């Protein structure tokens, strides 16, 4: 198998087209965060709801966030238009069509049932709508898509446990659990029991940590929750011992660069630590998080990173996409097939540059 050094000499001018065309996986996408303003208005009209914004442009203009909480406030307001199974299908299908156009061959999609069940939407309504879109994507787009149920960390662990139990009739329709929403003040250990329950059920485990929260939250996610992936994790570089452990264990970090800028984790993309994460030997990969709110889907994140960060080269591009397959919860033979296609795309670009 080739490595990053094999592709470091690919000209930077060739990277945008290569990044767009190459196969890739997306492992950190909140499906409610893919809800574009145009679709919000269509669903509101379909469901007879009024919105506190006069137009699509007025809603989009409100996407100026000072921190994670200011984003979450408008995020939950947008999700209020989702009521029927078809609404959840339409939202997921819109994302999956965009993902397929971006060269995504596999997506592991987060969904927040508590955002909807608190409004009286039945658990089966939302899961069945999302799952139907995933099945259609596999059949019509050749895009493998699975679901990860996330708990809202600003709510109690008892509510998370109740949510997990309520979802178990649809256990076959989701592959894992995650932890999202407001990070500060809600450390991972708050959810030790529900993650132990999910682990006993054979579910995959992931958690947001080290976005706004400190490196200590990453340690807790690893040691208390026993997660298999860290979502975000960009603050891990503040702790050398943590970096050494993450590198040794090949613990994936699902980094979301445009999200980090929009939520003021970094002042600008030029200051992002993505190159340092990769150069530290960490299994970092790029994702879009909440693309409708943060200004870009997966390819937008990749292209803007390579434009803003001159330290990134063709080897880093290959490494990021390779890491996305390594970090996915799929069978080894599928990973090998996608990896072979990725290697071939980069080898072709290298050969074209040399000719």
What positions carry a catalytic annotation? Answer: 211
Asked if residue 30 belongs to a known ligand binding site, the reply is yes
Annotation-wise, does 106 bind a ligand?
Answer: no
Please indicate if the annotation marks 112 as binding a ligand: no
| 3-class SS letters over the chain | CCCHHHHCCCCHHHHHHHHHHCCEEEEEEEHHHHCCHHHHHHHHHHCCCCCCCCCHHHHHHCCCCCCHHHHHHHHHHHHCCCCCHHHHHHHHHHHHHHHHHCCEEEEEEEECHHHHHCCCCCHHHHHHHHHHHHHHHHHHHCCEEEEEEEEECCCCHHHHHHHHHHHHHHHHHCCEEEEECCCCCCCHHHHHHHHHHHHHCCCEEEEEECCCCCHHHHHHHHHCCCCCEEEECHHHHHCHHHHHHHHHHCCEEEECHHHHHHCCCCCCHHHCCHHHHHHCCCEEEECCECHHHHCCCHHHHHHHHHHHCCCCCHHHHHHHHHHHHHCCCCCHHHHHHHHHHHHHHHHHHHHHHHC
Is 239 assigned to a binding site?
Answer: no
Known binding residue 116? Answer is no
Binding-site members for substrate are 290
Binding-site members for Zn(2+) are 28, 30, 208, 289
Binding-site members are 28, 30, 208, 289-290
């Amino acid at each position: 198998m080739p490595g990053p050094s094999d592709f470091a000499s690919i000209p930077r001018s060739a990277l945008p087209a290569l990044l767009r065309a190459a196969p890739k996986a997306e492992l950190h996408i909140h499906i409610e965060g893919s809800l574009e303003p145009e679709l919000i208005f269509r669903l509101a009209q379909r469901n007879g709801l009024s919105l506190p914004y006069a137009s699509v442009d007025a809603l989009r203009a409100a996407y100026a966030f000072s921190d994670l909480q200011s984003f979450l406030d408008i995020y939950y307001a947008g999700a209020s238009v989702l009521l029927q199974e078809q609404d959840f299908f339409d939202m997921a299908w819109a994302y999956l069509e965009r993902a397929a156009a971006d060269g995504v061959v596999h997506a592991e999609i987060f969904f927040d049932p508590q955002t909807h069940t608190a409004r009286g939407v039945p658990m089966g309504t939302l899961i069945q709508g999302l799952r139907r879109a995933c099945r259609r994507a596999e059949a019509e787009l050749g895009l493998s898509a699975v679901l990860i149920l996330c708990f809202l960390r600003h709510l109690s662990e008892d509510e998370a446990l109740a949510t997990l139990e309520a979802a178990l009739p649809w256990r076959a329709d989701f592959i894992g659990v995650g932890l999202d929403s407001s990070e500060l003040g809600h450390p991972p250990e708050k959810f030790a029991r529900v993650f132990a329950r999910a682990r006993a059920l054979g579910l995959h485990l992931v958690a947001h940590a080290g976005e706004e929260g400190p490196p200590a939250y990453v340690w807790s996610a690893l040691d208390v929750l026993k997660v298999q992936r860290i979502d975000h994790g960009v603050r891990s570089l503040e702790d050398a011992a943590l970096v050494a452990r993450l590198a040794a264990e090949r613990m994936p970090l699902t980094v979301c660069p445009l999200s980090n800028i929009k939520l003021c984790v970094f002042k600008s993309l030029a200051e992002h630590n993505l190159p340092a994460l990769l150069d530290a030997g960490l299994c970092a990969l790029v994702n879009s998080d909440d693309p409708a709110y943060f200004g870009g889907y997966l390819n937008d994140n990749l292209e803007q990173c390579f434009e803003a960060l001159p330290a990134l080269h063709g080897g880093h591009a290959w490494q990021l996409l390779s890491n996305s397959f390594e970090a996915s919860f799929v069978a080894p033979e599928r990973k090998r097939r996608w990896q072979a296609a990725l290697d071939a795309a980069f080898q072709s670009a290298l050969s074209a540059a040399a000719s």
